[in-house]
Amino acid sequence: MYSFFIDGMELPIAPQKLTVKIKGNNKTLTLINEGDINFLRAPGLTEITFDAVLPMLGQYSFANGYRRPDSYLNKLESLMTDKEPFRFLVSRVSPSGRLLYDTNMKVSLENYTVTEDATKGPDVTVSITLKQYISYSTKTVTVVKPKPEKKPVVQQKKKRETSSAPKVKTYTVKSGDCLWNIAKKYYGSGAQYTKIYNANKGKIKNPNLIYPGQVLTIP
């Protein structure tokens, strides 16, 4: 004995056939010099299909109670439009009343087709497709762009402007001085006096005559 429940609502007549399709996601790859290999992956979502008969007149004594077909159709429409998963349950009981096993799965209603065939009577047949639903949660990821690093500003110190001209040495003549003595003082040899004389020809007319107070350039 079978009992089918869709979101807690029991179908009046258990479908004669139930198809459960477990989709495989394995992938065949072709490797150079190796041929085909099978890349094993986790199975896909389970798909369930069956046809439910909804009595129009309640003429079946074995039916589980009686409701008008539109009550079941309204339920299916609600499951489709609410966009919410629900429980699908199939209970299997032996003739002796022993529970065999249950199918209890969280599913979504993928599609359903309503068929009325006058040649087969007033009943309504609904072809239903359900798909396994696995709960998931989403995470909000905030991408923070790093702020551009400020490059340190290197302040270049201004170099002191230095005169390319060499520093001019001067000497103020004192009483008793002569070019020989001055040259010996600066160059270590009195014989270098001609350097001082040549550098000061505008001031010295006779190298043997210099006067106190004269400012001489020492080259």
Instruction: Report DSSP letters for 140-190, one per residue.
Output: --PPPPPPPPPPPP-PPPPPPP--SSPPPEEEE--TT--HHHHHHHHHS-G
Fold of 169-218: Membrane-bound Lytic Murein Transglycosylase D; Chain A (3.10.350)
Q: What is the mean pLDDT of residues 56-75?
A: 83
Enumerate the domain spans of the chain.
2-132, 169-218
Measured between alpha carbons, how far is 106 from 132 in angstroms, rounded to an integer?
6
pLDDT band for 145, please (50, 70, 90 cuts).
confident
Task: Kindly give the pairing relationship between strand 2-6 and strand 9-10.
Answer: antiparallel
pLDDT of residue 162: 59
What's this model's pTM, rounded to 2 decimal places? 0.56
CA–CA distances in Å: residue 46 to residues 81, 110, 195, 199:
21, 12, 113, 112
d(CA 118, CA 47): 30
* pLDDT confidence band for 139 (50 / 70 / 90): confident
Other CB atoms within a 10 A radius of the CB of residue 155 amount to 6
The three-state secondary structure class of 36 is strand
Give dist(CA 90, CA 18) in Å, integer. Answer: 10
Q: What's the DSSP call for residue 34?
A: T
Percent of the chain with pLDDT over 70: 94
Query: pLDDT digit string (tens) for 87-123?
Result: 999 998 888 888 888 899 999 999 999 999 888 888 9
Mean pLDDT of the chain: 86
Q: Position of tokens 């060499």?
A: 166
Tell me how crowded residue 218 is: count the other CB atoms within 10 A of its CB: 16
| Residue 121 pLDDT | 84
**76 pLDDT band (50/70/90 cuts)?**
very high
According to DSSP, the residues that pair with 106 across neighbouring strands are: 87
- What CATH code is assigned to 2-132? 2.40.30.200
State residue 115's pLDDT score. 94
